[in-house]
Amino acid sequence: MTGLTAVVAIALIVKNYRRAAAWAVLVMAGTAVLNTVLKVVVARDRPEWDHPIQTLKTYSFPSGHSSAITAAAGIAIVLTAMLVRRRGLRRLAATLAIGAVLLVGADRIFLGVHNLSDVAGGYLLGAVVVLVSLLFFDPRPRSIALVDELPPDTVPPSRRKVAAILNPIKVDDPAGFRAMVDRMAVESGWAEVVWWETTEEDTGYRMAHEAAVSGADVVIAIGGDGTIRAVCEELAGTGIPVGIVPAGTGNLLARNLSIPLYLRAAVDVGLNGQDRAIDMVRVSGDAMDDATFLVMAGMGFDAAIMEGVNEDFKKKVGWLAYAWSGLKALMFPAIRVEVSVDGGEFTKHRARTIVIGNVGSLQAGMPLIPDAEIDDGQLDVVLLYPRRFLSWLPLAARVLTRNRRTDATITRMTGRSVVVRTPTAAPRQLDGDLIEPGKELRAECDHGRLLVRVPR
């Protein structure tokens, strides 16, 4: 338990959840101390059995194993409720935690080292420590407005308006989520929150337009990559900052901007963060309407991954659905590619995937384009050509170690504008959304086009 507590605390600190880390350590340490004190105070001897499996000489009440596993289960349930958005996964975690509690309690009784009342006392002690600690210490991150002294605004927040655009299918309890955002806005000094909800027909364009013309001073977009892209595309060039609340599966833009994936913390950044101008990319091609992207566009293998994702499976397991689809598409056939950068001559290549990136990292922080910056006015192109199935392993190692060496397996290019064309139609995607297969993509960086809210 000590080792597990240390691992969890370090992981939380790395993810910048320091209050949650401190709370977890305090709960486990407090449970251990109180258990030791109660054993001495009660001084109950171990139960006597004719043929015990194990014999212990220490006091019996309460069971230390039972109190520790109950405290650990309570921590797991609280942290899961905080950080896991999918209701099914939260329920699974709670079920496994409670199952572990019952299993450990049964183990102590069947070994003959505790009475039933010892185990029940341990359960009660662990549960009380968790619940009482929550009364006096909130493990959730504190608001930026409480931690940092915010610079004075020309117009006080109390006279400004927040617009929130919500994709309701991306949160478990839309009404509860709206109430939380309203409460946080009031606590941060904002005048009001005006709400819009996206629909299947409109992923956010009309709502963002209405929010802009209504005089919103900041627009908070809550949803997946599609909703975020629609709102950002509509508000580009308006000077109205966008607060990004990543409620989807990929959330690549939020990850590359260091926006927390914990919804409450992301809302806090949207309300109280600082503005940053980032690049957008205008894209066109055959068999598609002119569009923009914020993260990356691709042809070939990466688009085939998006095409192969089962939506029902994705709802249940999240980003693992992309991993499964990627395994199935590993041997997507190589295609012949011609690439022109900044209007230069076309160069010929073979590749299984072509990525035009505005950011550097993919899912799980994989640094596919380690030199890419979202505000440098440049696009980064990567072509991957593993010749055989096993060639993916050294290629993945090179990507993960940020090896910048280029050869026929991995080719990198950088420029303000890029044209990619193929002799036959290939799968294509923009920010994870499939578009019609085609033979060409033209991309041009629009430097500093969009204002977004990022952590201070």
How far apart are alpha carbons 419 and 1 in whole angstroms? 55
Give the residue with greater pLDDT, 170 vs 389. Answer: 170
Confirm if 161 and 194 have CB atoms less than 8 A apart: yes
DSSP 3-state of 149: coil
Helices (H) and strands (E) in the chain, counts: 15, 14
Alpha-helical regions (H) of 199-275: 205-213, 225-235, 252-256, 263-272
**Distance, first Cα to last Cα, the chain:** 35
Q: Identify the band that residue 97 occupies on the pLDDT scale cut at 50, 70 and 90.
A: very high
pLDDT of residue 255: 83
Q: Output the pLDDT for position 224.
A: 85
More confident residue, 417 or 359: 417
- Among candidates 382, 351, 373, which has minimal Cα distance to 445? 373
For 217-259, what is each residue's pLDDT tens digit? 999 999 888 889 889 999 998 999 999 998 877 678 888 888 8
For the residues 66-75, what does the mean pLDDT come to? 96
Helical ranges in 137-163 per DSSP H: 144-147
- By CB neighbour count within 10 A (0-12 exposed, 13-18 middle, 19+ buried), where does 300 fall? buried
Contact 328, 392 (CB under 8 A): no
Predicted pLDDT of residue 439: 92
pLDDT tens-digit profile of 129-146? 999 999 999 898 877 755
Q: So what's the pLDDT on residue 346?
A: 93
Contact predicate 311/322, CB 8 Å: no
- Architecture of the domain spanning 283-446: Sandwich (2.60)
pLDDT of 304 higher than 80: no
When pLDDT is averaged across residues 309-328 and rounded to a whole number, the result is: 64
CATH class of 144-272: alpha beta
Mean pLDDT, the chain, as a whole number? 85
If one compares 367 and 353, the residue with the highest pLDDT of the two is 353
Q: Is the pLDDT of residue 157 over 70?
A: no
* Residue boundaries of the structural domains of the chain: 2-136, 144-272, 283-446
Nearest to 314 by CA among 392, 227, 224: 224
Sorted by sequence, the CB contacts under 8 Å of residue 147 that are 6+ apart come out as: none
Write down the pLDDT at residue 21: 94
Lowest mean pLDDT among 45-59, 130-144, 315-329: 315-329
Q: Which of 360, 384, 362 is nearest to 370 (CA)?
A: 360
